Amino acid sequence: MATEPVTWEREDHTKAKHDLLRAFFNKWVSIHSEHFAKRRGGLVRIYDGFAGPGVYSGGEPGSPLILLRALCEHPRLRERWQAVRYELLHFVEKHPSRAAMLEGKLEGLEVELRERQEWSDGVQWSVTCGRYEENGPRAVSGTSALFLFLDPFGYSHAPMSLTQDLIQQPKSDTLIFLPLSFVNRFAGREGQEKALDRFFGSPAWRQVPDGPGRPDALLTLFQEQLRSAGLDWVLPFRLKAEEGGNVYWIVGGSGHLAGFASIKEGFWAVDPVNGQGFAAPRPAPAGQEAFAFEEPPPPGPNTEPLLEGLREKFGRRDFTVDEAIEFTKRSRFLDTHLKDRTLAPAEQAGHLEVNRPTGARRFKEGKGITMRFTPLSEEETNIRS
Ligand SMILES: C[S@@+](CC[C@H](N)C(=O)[O-])C[C@H]1O[C@@H](n2cnc3c(N)ncnc32)[C@H](O)[C@@H]1O
């Protein structure tokens, strides 16, 4: 350990990971804080289990500073969320010099935020120098929400056993960094068996045949293991730093549907078209940078797979708006994608027959509205088969 550097260079995929973390966290903290503020109290806990030194060698901030800054700079923190306690932003780091550097960086950020009057006394943070395995979240009583960010180097740690405790906590959500290209590469090497057993929480990975399909199969296994550990709602998001390079995944997991919604919100904030992946944008060559006013408006979400899913689920039978909402909640799509972006265009295009009782408008739930898919034309059937 003595030879390990305190800081290191930030790679491209790390930037993508941090963009996703920031977007997810803003949404997550906002959903839970709003909920607790309405109930006049609640405890938000944030754990960064493999925290790092807080800064990269080029000066870029690490995950703890990103989380603390995102919370303190949130415009609602001092206006609407005073009743909410943020105890703790808990950062765990094994390496003593990294933990010490992190503590100094967080103190510096707190001073800066206090000077700018962006601090709130509801916020507390702490750094623990030690192994996350022995310093994970403990059970608390009362209304609380827990966000856990697990970002170890490589796969030598055991996310499956680390998530076991989490499942005991109400309203707990996690983001786990999964370096899939590395895992796939090591799955074929001798001597890695025990580490990979720990990583997957099972020897089942040994049955996955080698070949081009193995990364996908390993990703599926990882998700299945999280589900069987008790996180019913699991969704992966792909991070790619460069063409043909390593592929990394962030896997979000939640034990409840509201947490799943915040994971999805984070994913769609980073990828507004499909909510599934992020490729680091290449910098434009010198002299060809676009001006802000030249940038095209961001494209809307591609909701075709949601329509397909609804057609597959309901076939030619009648279904209600509430049933469609329930289906959407359990899919990778957001609630806001359903009515105006999926059902209304499908009705307009003649794919959906909608039966509205008198007085029922658009796709209002609870008004007795039913709908049914029209049969596909021969041409459409051929395209699908
Ligand atoms: C990938 S780095 C974390 C980077 C950080 N999350 C960020 O985004 O800026 C992983 C960190 O985990 C630390 N670490 C390794 N094993 C650990 C353990 N068992 N418990 C806590 N920290 C550990 C390493 O020293 C390293 O600083």
CATH 1.10.3470 fits 304-384, yes or no: no
Distance 174 CA to ligand 1 centre (A): 16
Model pTM score? 0.80
Query: Residues spanned by CATH 1.10.10 within the chain?
Result: 304-384
d(CA 274, CA 268): 7
Distance 276 CA to ligand 1 centre (A): 26
Q: How many other β-carbons are positioned within 10 Å of the β-carbon of residue 85?
A: 19
What φ, ψ does residue 249 adopt, rounded to 5°?
A: -130, 150
Single-letter amino acid code for the residue at 152: P
**pLDDT score for 242:** 63
Q: Nearest C-alpha to atom 20 of ligand 1 is from which residue?
A: 131
d(CA 307, CA 209): 34
**pLDDT score for 292:** 43
d(CA 47, CA 324): 35
Distance 80 CA to ligand 1 centre (A): 33
pLDDT digits (tens, 9 = 90+) for 167-178: 666 667 888 888
Handedness of CA 182, 187, 189, 193 (dihedral sign): positive
Distance 181 CA to ligand 1 centre (A): 19
Distance 153 CA to ligand 1 centre (A): 6
Which residues form the pocket of ligand 1, taking CB atoms under 6 Å from any ligand atom? 50-52, 62-63, 92-95, 98, 131-133, 151-153, 157
Q: Nearest C-alpha to atom 4 of ligand 1 is from which residue?
A: 52
**pLDDT score for 271:** 86
**pLDDT score for 196:** 85
Residue 86's closest CA among 170, 11, 145, 174?
Answer: 145
Q: Classify domain 12-279 at the CATH class level.
A: alpha beta
**pLDDT score for 110:** 97
In a mutational test of the pocket of ligand 1, which residue from 24, 93, 129, 178 has the highest number of ligand atoms less than 8 Å from its CB?
93
Distance 165 CA to ligand 1 centre (A): 19
Distance 52 CA to ligand 1 centre (A): 5
In a mutational test of the pocket of ligand 1, which residue from 15, 66, 67, 94 has the highest number of ligand atoms less than 8 Å from its CB?
94
> Atom of ligand 1 at shortest distance to CA of 4?
25
Q: Nearest C-alpha to atom 6 of ligand 1 is from which residue?
A: 51
Distance 286 CA to ligand 1 centre (A): 36
Tell me if 37 sits within 8 A of 275, measured CB to CB.
no
**pLDDT score for 134:** 84
d(CA 310, CA 284): 40
pLDDT digits (tens, 9 = 90+) for 221-269: 999 988 887 889 999 999 876 666 778 888 998 888 888 988 898 888 8
Which segments in the chain show pLDDT lower than 50? 1, 290-293
Query: Residues spanned by CATH 3.40.50.150 within the chain?
Result: 12-279
Q: Nearest C-alpha to atom 19 of ligand 1 is from which residue?
A: 131
Q: Nearest C-alpha to atom 26 of ligand 1 is from which residue?
A: 52
Q: Cα–Cα distances in Å, from 184 out to 32, 201, 212, 238, 296?
A: 36, 16, 10, 15, 38
Q: Cα–Cα distances in Å, from 313 out to 275, 302, 323, 371?
A: 21, 19, 10, 13
